[in-house]
Structure 1
């Protein structure tokens, strides 16, 4: 009976009533609570699906801000928040059983199996950063335009040898210099869009004889950014500027350059993406793309809980914040 209680929303109305009646006769402590839930037609909870381990929501500064926005609106609406981590082999997927009124999918992309599970449950889903499926509602930013603006900043400064640190997945266990440039492997919608944006802005540099090299990092932490930077600095013609796909990677770039005795921005300009709080406090303060993390999370929950607000997409603004980590290349 307990397993049936965990998926009441998937049962027919007649079967639900019979189950609840039987539970009342047996004196089940859950029967009254579940009866009220079924009669109201809602559970009072929102599920947040993530494509990484749960620790990512607490350790990654951009993810923390986004989750804060989700939690803020849940609190205002009196809704509980259920965290749903990525599915692991041999472990039942919580998406199939979570007692929620709908999901915000902080996933890029959402696994096909999970899409099928959500379709079977017939619960509303709003994507966060990317749509769950083409045409489905989501809240995000124009990643391509934001990346294009970041790269254009370096072009305007006069840089002609530029490195790009892309988020994985890499083909192998180590950081890899991708010879195919912007057509290298990318498993994420946002990552692909940012690569396309960088390419848009850097195409004239390549056409004019400049060089752009893309490195695929193993992960998204500072150490991964540092490893990718070392691969770029070991090139025969190292870059004079690096575009990092996130601020955390950019912090690793600055650390690796400093260890090599390369001053930022005197010897190497660095641009991040996210504008997390530590970006302004970095040494030097980091030039980066600002995106509204808290608002993204908040708008996704608003869209989920107020169907009248639902639209195909809500695209929020971004801007390049120029700080002291970028300067013209040394002649």
Structure 2
């Protein structure tokens, strides 16, 4: 049988709590007694108290969970995710708290819900998840503190928000395109369709999108374009399965290989926008002259490519999320943090070509 705390206690002739102190509170025991306990444990093959069980007894796991619907490698390769994760990790490190990364599948929803239910954490940080994902309901059911950069109807009282005004950010980008005379505009983004495929999407309004970030960014563009009389029905939309440069290039190819091609393409992330630039160059077209391109995030590579984009503080967003999760404010009004954004105009946007 597997040795337990009681097995070691019986072998040494002490109480269970004394054996537990040998691992968690060694200052409570003499050096000789602790050595006898650890020697007996090693002989019996007892590795020590179960961390999960100990955390449940203490009502503290000593870790926070970060949830996202992507592969685990995404957190270490996507430039924006890397910055966000760096900020979150800094906050956890300062609080001497661990960080559990939970990549949740959109194809196996049952496994995603089980991962949330089984996670031994003190709270959750939601990175990017569509509104319909059942793991979000599982989060609410657990009743642990939750910080997200998204808003969803039905979020519970323990939910905090650290994000940006997505619509205001893209409104500024849309106004920039309007001032340059663009009227044939396309938008590329994720979760326009629930199906994870590259292809056109039909959106009667931004409200059709079941993903907060894309929905709000579309709403900003809609408001900016409507001010200049551009009808929403004239805009082309292409869905991409995720934040991937090759997918951005493939989505742009769908737009560029048809007539009339758009004079401006707005990508809802820089990675996708960089893919659009790749597609333009492959066709001998110059970004900013033949077709304007605008992104979102201002990742390091955006400046190198001269990409016009919206800058948002990724690392600070992660840092503030971690702090709010680990040290919740007494006043619920302080549980909402809206960080600033800025439109950064570079070479990939220019006057519309007739």
For the superposition of Structure 1 and Structure 2, which TM-score range results when normalised by the shorter chain? 0.7 to 0.9
Matched, 1:175 2:193: no
What is the CA distance between 1:329 and its match in structure 2?
1.8
- What is the distance in 2 between the residues matched to 1:181 and 1:70? 37
What is the CA distance between 1:204 and its match in structure 2?
3.8
> Which residue does the alignment assign to 1:103?
124
Q: State the TM-score, normalizing by the size of structure 2.
A: 0.78
Measured against aligned partners, the alpha-carbon deviations of 1:145-196 in whole angstroms (never above 9, x if no partner) come to 1111111111011112111112235366753333446458533111011111
Task: Determine helix, strand or coil for the equivalent of 1:214.
Answer: strand
Q: Is the 8 A contact 2:130 2:191 kept in 1?
A: no
- What is the distance in 2 between the residues matched to 1:168 and 1:35? 39
> Which residue does the alignment assign to 1:301?
322
- What is the distance in 2 between the residues matched to 1:40 and 1:208? 58
Q: 1:86 aligns with which of 100, 104, 110?
A: 104
Measured against aligned partners, the alpha-carbon deviations of 1:46-78 in whole angstroms (never above 9, x if no partner) come to 111222221221121111111111101111111
- What is the distance in 2 between the residues matched to 1:247 and 1:303? 27
Closer/same/farther in 2, CA of residues 85 and 30 from structure 1, 3 Å limit: farther
- What is the distance in 2 between the residues matched to 1:302 and 1:44? 14
Q: Is the 8 A contact 1:274 1:289 kept in 2?
A: yes
- What is the distance in 2 between the residues matched to 1:308 and 1:173? 38
Q: Is the 8 A contact 2:169 2:343 kept in 1?
A: yes
Q: Is the 8 A contact 1:182 1:214 kept in 2?
A: no
Q: 2:76 aligns with which of 58, 64, 82?
A: 58
- What is the distance in 1 between the residues matched to 2:75 and 2:84? 9
> Which residue does the alignment assign to 1:47?
65
Q: Residues 205-224 of structure 1: matches in 2 within 5 Å?
A: 205-207=228-230, 211-224=234-247
Q: Residues 142-157 of structure 1: matches in 2 within 5 Å?
A: 142-157=165-180
> Which residue does the alignment assign to 1:11?
none
What is the CA distance between 1:120 and its match in structure 2?
4.3
- What is the distance in 1 between the residues matched to 2:165 and 2:91? 23
Cα-Cα RMSD = 3.3
Aligned residues: 313
Matched, 1:262 2:280: no
- What is the distance in 2 between the residues matched to 1:208 and 1:108? 29
What is the CA distance between 1:37 and its match in structure 2?
4.2
> Which residue does the alignment assign to 1:71?
89
User: Higher Cα Rg: structure 1 or 2?
Assistant: 2
Q: Is the 8 A contact 1:166 1:195 kept in 2?
A: no
Q: Is the 8 A contact 1:109 1:130 kept in 2?
A: no
- What is the distance in 2 between the residues matched to 1:89 and 1:175? 22
Q: Is the 8 A contact 2:65 2:124 kept in 1?
A: yes
What is the CA distance between 1:235 and its match in structure 2?
2.9
Closer/same/farther in 2, CA of residues 293 and 131 from structure 1, 3 Å limit: farther
Closer/same/farther in 2, CA of residues 220 and 292 from structure 1, 3 Å limit: same
Q: 1:249 aligns with which of 272, 275, 278?
A: 272
Task: After superposing the two structures, state which structure 1 stretch, 269-278 or 207-216, moved more.
Answer: 207-216
Closer/same/farther in 2, CA of residues 80 and 186 from structure 1, 3 Å limit: same
Matched, 1:118 2:139: yes
- What is the distance in 2 between the residues matched to 1:161 and 1:145? 21
What is the CA distance between 1:286 and its match in structure 2?
0.3
Task: Determine helix, strand or coil for the equivalent of 1:137.
Answer: strand
- What is the distance in 1 between the residues matched to 2:231 and 2:111? 53
What is the CA distance between 1:276 and its match in structure 2?
0.5
Q: Is the 8 A contact 2:291 2:352 kept in 1?
A: yes
Q: State the TM-score, normalizing by the size of structure 1.
A: 0.82
Measured against aligned partners, the alpha-carbon deviations of 1:124-149 in whole angstroms (never above 9, x if no partner) come to 12113445943631111111111111
> Which residue does the alignment assign to 1:7?
none
